[in-house]
Structures are given as C-alpha cells and as structure tokens.
C-alpha cells in the first residue's frame, strides 16, 4: 500500500513510525510532505521515507492522510482537489477540529473521506483510533482506510458527536497516565527504590493491569476488590487516594477538557 501524508509533527511522525515498525509498509511506500520548519526533513534523515514538496507526487498514492495543524486542513484539501481533478484517492484527516461534512463541502458529497482521531501509542502499533466515515463511502475505500489503521493498533468506528470525548479520553489520557506513573515512581523513590527501577515497575504495572482488564473483561471494581483484603495495605492506600479526591480529580479532568 502506498501511503501519502501531509505533516510529520507529533501525530504525523507517530503514524509514520508505526507504519514502518509494522513492517507492512516500507520507507519506499511512504510519501511525506512537511511544512516550513523542516520537521519532515529531519525525520526523513532518520527514517528514509520519500519526501516531496509537490502535490502531484500524491497522485501515485493509494491513500492520503492529513496530519497538519487544524487551520490548514481545508486549504490543503482545496489544493489537493485541484491536483487530483477526476482521480479519486481516499483522504483521511486526523484533525479533531474539521468534520467530514466540512471536508465534503470542499471535495464533494460522494468523495471517500474520513475523520480519524489516533493517539500517540500508534508509534508502537498499540494505538486506539476513533474514526468517522463519510456516510456513503464505498466499501473498497473503507477497507483501505481500515487496513492502514490496523497497522497502527485498534480502530473503532464512532459517530461524529463522540469525536470530542474520544479525543479527550484516548488522546489526552496518555498524559494523565504519564503523570500517574511519574507520581507513583516519586513515591517509590521517596521510600528507597532506584529511579530507573521505579519507572520500569510503574510502567509494567500499569500496562499489565490494563491488559488484565482487557483480557478478563472484568469490571475494574472487581479487579480492585481482588487486591484489597480486609484491613490490608491496598485498601489503606486507596483510602488515602480517595481522601485527596482521586476519582473526583480524574472525572473532573475529563469534564474540564470537554467544557
């Protein structure tokens, strides 16, 4: 599959790294166009994908991704429409701020389009991406888009009204978990554990707890109950967290972003 992508910043580079890491896509299958600061050139020196400053080069690609800053999405689409003329190549924007309807207003109602919200773990093929397809998208275009995201982790079809909350939970959530792991490690260092060991144990514990939830399908409360013996140390720790409003702080973090 030949993939074209505009933008190699935080999200574009995470997707590029994920595709190359999957080994299903080679550097020669990837065509990238970057912006003025030269981010794409710097990454190209490391990853050796094809780099272009010419939209015509995208005519050879099977699928095109837009991973540029939100205000640029529609102007790049307009440029692409002129380049493509009658040629139809599915286009996926990864901006939370531009809807499929806004993209259709530029490309036309029957053009194969999608709006996707990936998260940064796509770079290690463990992302979760929410996607909204244009209503009448042809099954071949949809399958092509699905295949390209399957290399990056899990793909979940969502409705347009859930894009905001999906981006908040899946996109902002990794930073919440990073802060949690850092704080857990600080607590361990305070009590004598080496810093490197603390980060490793915290990360492994968070990853394996998440995997246990996913693999058993149990309610998180049931898993917590399994670790909290009566009068034991874990329930004492949970009580200390709740005294500081741990659950409220977490719920309020999501709610503050959404409102």
Ligand X SMILES: NC(=O)c1ccc[n+]([C@@H]2O[C@H](COP(=O)([O-])OP(=O)(O)OC[C@H]3O[C@@H](n4cnc5c(N)ncnc54)[C@H](OP(=O)(O)O)[C@@H]3O)[C@@H](O)[C@H]2O)c1
Q: How many helices (H) and strands (E) does the chain have?
A: 11, 8
Long-range contacts of 223-228 (CB under 8 A, 24+ apart): none
Question: CA-to-CA distance for 103 and 253, rounded, in angstroms?
Answer: 31
Nearer to ligand X (CB atom), residue 2 or residue 55:
55
Nearer to ligand X (CB atom), residue 37 or residue 87:
37
Per CB under 6 A, the list member of 6, 19, 58, 65 interacting with ligand X is 6
Annotated binding-site residue? 252: no
Q: Does 1 interact with ligand X (rule: CB under 6 A)? A: no
Point out which span in 36-44, 82-90, 106-114, 152-160 binds ligand X (CB under 6 A). Answer: 36-44
What is each CA distance from 131 to 29, 71, 157, 158, 160, in whole angstroms? 23, 20, 5, 6, 9
Per CB under 6 A, the list member of 4, 7, 18, 153 interacting with ligand X is 7
Q: Does 128 interact with ligand X (rule: CB under 6 A)? A: no
- Spell out the residues 6+ positions from residue 24 whose beta carbon is closer than 8 angstroms to its own: 1, 151
CB of 228 to ligand X, least distance (A): 34
Give me the residues that bind ligand X (CB under 6 A), please.
Answer: 6-12, 33-40, 67-70, 72, 76, 94-96, 117-118, 120, 171
């Amino acid at each position: 599959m030949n993939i074209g992508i505009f933008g190699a910043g935080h999200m574009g580079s995470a997707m590029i790294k994920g595709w190359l890491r999957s080994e299903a896509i080679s550097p020669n299958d990837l065509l990238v166009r970057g912006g003025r600061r030269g981010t794409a050139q710097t990454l190209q020196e490391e990853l050796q994908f094809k780099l272009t400053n010419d939209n015509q080069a995208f005519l050879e690609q099977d699928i095109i991704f837009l991973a540029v800053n939100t205000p640029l999405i529609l102007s790049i689409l307009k440029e692409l429409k002129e380049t493509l003329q009658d040629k139809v190549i599915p286009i996926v924007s990864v901006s939370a701020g531009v809807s499929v309807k806004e993209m259709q207003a530029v490309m036309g109602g029957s053009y194969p389009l999608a709006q996707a919200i990936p998260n940064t773990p796509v770079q290690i093929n463990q992302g979760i991406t929410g996607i909204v397809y244009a209503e009448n998208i042809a099954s071949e275009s949809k399958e092509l888009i699905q295949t390209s995201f399957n290399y990056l982790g899990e793909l979940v079809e969502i409705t347009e009204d859930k894009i905001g909350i999906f981006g908040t939970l899946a996109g902002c959530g990794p930073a919440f978990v990073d802060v949690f792991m850092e704080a857990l490690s600080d607590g361990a260092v305070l009590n004598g554990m080496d810093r490197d060991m603390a980060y490793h144990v915290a990360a492994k514990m968070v990853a394996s707890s998440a995997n246990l939830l996913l693999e058993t399908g149990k309610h998180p409360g049931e898993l917590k109950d399994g670790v909290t013996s009566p009068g034991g140390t874990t329930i004492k720790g949970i009580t200390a967290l709740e005294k500081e409003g741990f659950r409220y702080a977490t719920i309020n973090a999501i709610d503050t972003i959404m409102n």
